[in-house]
Amino acid sequence: MDSVPSNSHGNLDEQIAQLMQCKPLSEQEMKSSRKILNLLDQCLTLMHIKQIQAHLTVSGTLSDSYAAAKIIAFCAAPDRNNLCHAHRLFCCLPYRTTYIWNIMIRSFTERNEPIRAFSVYNKMRENSFLPNNYTFSFLLNACADLSDFPLGLVIHGQAIRLGWELYDFVRVLCEKAKEIFMEESNVQPVKSPVTICGDIHGQFHDLAELFRIGGKCPDTNYLFMGDYVDRGYYSVETVTLRRIRINVVVFMALFEKGTLGHWLEGWVLLVALKVRYPQRITILRGNHESRQITQVYGFYDECLRKYGNANVWKIFTDLFDYFPLTALVESEIFCLHGGLSPSIETLDNIRNFDRVQEVPHEGPMCDLLWSDPDDRCGWGISPRGAGYTFGQDISEQFNHTNNLKLIARAHQLVMEGYNWGHEQKVVTIFSAPNYCYRCGNMASILEVDDCKGHTFIQFEPAPRRGEPDVTRRTPDYFL
């Protein structure tokens, strides 16, 4: 610990000494105990902490759970070196609360001592204290540190049995993801090797199949080009989790065990993966990551059905505004959801956008998410009602101007899962097999290796797991 001026020690010593002269259990003493707790923030040495602790012990104040929690939390804080002292004090307490148990579990987890965190948890259960949502959050982080997937399943099971249903986790998870997305560019640079994926559209079990075939994250780097929600029955599951505060370690355990069944409803995927492995997964915005579109094509209704209100839908759609619009793999492969725009000539034009907004009805940002390649040259009016069609002459000029070799995009159903266009200057990738559970198409992903070579992997739908009770079928539109 750094040295401090002696007069600083003296002033604090005098204040502590004066307060310790108070008689125990009197009203004056209780007031002085509150004052001495407020001196914690001024503590400079372990000696001062022990002086305060001694006063609280003599006065009987330390038997109060608030006072005990305050001094233990102070000693156990990550920026201090007094965790051992906090633990000794914790072990001597005559009365403990769940909050105090959680302080110790969290502190050992933050200090990368997951074994000790679980030791405290086991003693907590032995002493008949019930864990709460915070307890399970700290324990799941400890499971992640241990890479102990089976243990993560055990903790998850205990959380379910105790009935913890944590609505606010969605908000917390999205806030963490938002912080990451805010640091990313409109043209997010991506290194190879990477696996590029197209539309998912809420087909959660097929997304699990994609990870089985393409490799688990973080062992495989992924770039997703938008349209994670709408159409499929599991849009919520595709972007995040529901019912229980859990993290990627449990999903990976289920993935390894091959138990991704209906009971996986509400669990974690893309946003949680982004939060846990921000450098390993890139998530771009699609035209369906929009408030207006999701109110028509299924995601809004799904949130109402699974959560009973629109709050989760609002949290998700607010997060959509922060997704990057495009990505650039090794300065050669330009990735986006839709296509090009007559208002955009260079990548710098895109970098200068203010993307944090609802998808506009027209303009360059709209075009990036809605446009399609076409066999006809030049620009054309899109039959979708938004964006444009663009011909080979347009894509060749754009690639030449920006020193690109390939435009990779999603947005369109292609029966083989991928389709080359414009003399292999543009490729469409679609990763939702049997789209809408009735189109009969294959899906694919594009692997880009260290040498920038391209390999397509096609896959079929995962086995059907039944369908939830959906009262309103989403409307058809251009496939």
More confident residue, 196 or 296: 196
Closest residue by Cα to residue 48 from 24, 29, 20: 20
Spans of all domains in the chain: 22-161, 168-459
Q: For strands 443-448 and 454-459, give the pairing.
A: antiparallel
From 391, 337, 395, select the one nearest 198 (Cα to Cα): 337
Distance CA(426)–CA(418), nearest Å, equals: 11
Count other C-beta atoms under 10 Å from residue 72's C-beta: 25
Give the pair of three-digit tokens for residue 414.
Answer: 């292609």
The Cα–Cα gap between 162 and 186 comes to: 43
pLDDT of residue 156: 65
Assess whether pLDDT exceeds 60 at residue 176.
yes
Residues 204-226 pLDDT 10s: 778 888 888 999 888 999 999 98
User: CA-CA distance, 352 to 403, in Å (whole number)?
Assistant: 19
Torsional class of 376: left (φ above 0), alpha (ψ -120 to 50), beta (otherwise): beta
Distance between CA atoms of 127 and 111, rounded to whole angstroms? 24
How much is the average pLDDT of 51-59?
60
Q: What are phi and psi of 338, to 5 degrees?
A: -100, -90
Measure the CA–CA gap between 69 and 450, rounded to whole angstroms.
Answer: 53
238-295 pLDDT, tens digit per residue, is 444 433 334 444 554 444 444 433 323 333 468 878 887 899 999 999 998 888 888 8
Residue in 277, 252, 60 with CA at minimum distance from that of residue 176: 277
Topology adopted by domain 168-459: Purple Acid Phosphatase; chain A, domain 2 (3.60.21)
| pLDDT tier for residue 328 given thresholds of 50, 70 and 90 | very high
CB-count burial class (<10 Å; 0-12, 13-18, 19+) for 337: buried
The confidence score (pLDDT) of residue 101 equals 93
| Highest-confidence segment of 38-52, 131-145, 261-275, 307-321 | 307-321
441 contacts 430 by C-beta, under 8 angstroms: yes
- Interval 291-312 mean pLDDT: 76
Q: Which residues are catalytic?
A: 288
Look-up: residue for tokens 């505060």?
A: 245
Percent with pLDDT over 90 in the chain: 39
| The two three-digit tokens of residue 102, written as one number | 């959680």
User: What does the pLDDT read at residue 470?
Assistant: 46
* pLDDT tens, position by position, 274-286: 887 899 999 999 9
Question: How does the average pLDDT of the chain come out, rounded?
Answer: 77
